[in-house]
Amino acid sequence: MNTQRRAVARTVGVATRAMMLLTLTLGVGYTLVITGVGQLALPAQAQGSIVTDQAGDPVGSSLIGQSFTDALGNPLPEYFQSRPSAAGDGYDGGASSGSNYGPENEDLIAAITERKAQVAEFNGVTEAEVPADAVTASSSGLDPHISTAYADIQITRVAEARGMPVEQVREIVTAHTAGADAGFLGETRVNVLELNLALDEWEG
């Protein structure tokens, strides 16, 4: 009986020491090493790709989209608008998700129809000119980019709201347009937050 108890005690002791060693090695050591490598090799990315304004204050992340609306939720005409978001109340980092509606869902069809009319009226274009990303949310609900097509139909409206030459706004859009990653992954896109900050800096 004593032999059996000693065997059990030995097994428990080995398991406890193994758990403590693995916790320190993988839970603490590995985390510290990876964090250190990240801070040295890719400090901006490791810190969350934070974007700052002219005063150096953080205003968001280049990886997470946000809305450019007033207190009532109305889009601000002087800013380029992001695509719709189904994450919480809109671009909620704690509720990342899409709508999960299928293409034949009546609610989705109604929402797209309403959004298309609103986007067309807001930007002074026809509904046929409104691109898909202007009326549909991304699967994460946090996409910080819009297509160049969506940016293009907003240029005139933003220029008029800011009293800027249309061509000047177009040049800023072009300067903040990124191509496909590695030349073939993804599509040409525009980061909305970075574009709007560049417009503010130009006027400042």
Same domain, 58 and 11: no
Q: Which domain holds residue 15?
A: 2-43
pTM: 0.77
Same domain? For 137 and 153 the reply is yes
* CA geometry: angle 47, 50, 56, nearest 5 deg: 120
Residues 31 and 107 in one domain: no
Answer yes or no: do 55 and 10 share one domain: no
Same structural domain, 139 and 195: yes
Distance CA 84, CA 90 (A): 7
Amino acid letter, 31: T
Judge if 19 and 106 occupy the same domain. no
- Please check whether residues 98 and 188 belong to one and the same domain: yes
| C-alpha span between 91 and 95 (Å, rounded) | 8
d(CA 7, CA 156): 80
Question: In terms of domains, do 102 and 186 share one?
Answer: yes
Q: Does 64 lie in the same domain as 27?
A: no
Same domain, yes or no: 67 and 120? yes
Res. 185 pLDDT band, cuts 50 70 90: confident
pLDDT tens-digit map of 65-115: 899 999 999 999 999 999 999 888 888 888 787 778 888 899 999 999 999
Per-residue pLDDT reduced to its tens digit, 52-73: 777 777 777 888 889 999 999 9
The string over 35-55, giving b where at least 16 C-beta atoms fall within 10 Å of a residue's C-beta and e elsewhere, is: eeeeeeeeeeeeeeeebeeee
The CA-based diameter of the chain, rounded to the nearest angstrom, is 91
Let me know whether 95 and 123 are in one domain. Answer: yes
- Specify the number of domains making up the chain: 2
